[in-house]
Amino acid sequence: MVHYDGSMWRAATPVVPSGTILYGVWGSAANNFWAVGDNATILHYEFPGGNSPHC
């Protein structure tokens, strides 16, 4: 995954369980997005200031 912070694309390094396949990503704002995958995986990321992903 990557995140555009307004000036450049940065790698977003999500903590995803090993072997999990992500099927969809949706963002409600430039600094807020969700990802879903198999095994009932739901991840939520917020980028304070557009730089550091956390879950």
38-54 residue pLDDT tens: 989 898 887 765 444 44
Domain count, the chain: 1
Average pLDDT over residues 12-40: 84
Q: Give the predicted TM-score (pTM) of the model.
A: 0.60
Q: Which domain holds residue 42?
A: 2-50
For the chain, percent of residues with pLDDT exceeding 70: 78
Beta bridge partners of 41: 37
pLDDT score of 24: 93
- 55 domain residue, yes or no: no
End-to-end, the C-alpha distance of the chain in Å comes to: 14
Arithmetic mean of pLDDT over the chain: 78
- 32 domain residue, yes or no: yes
pLDDT score of 49: 59
- 21 domain residue, yes or no: yes
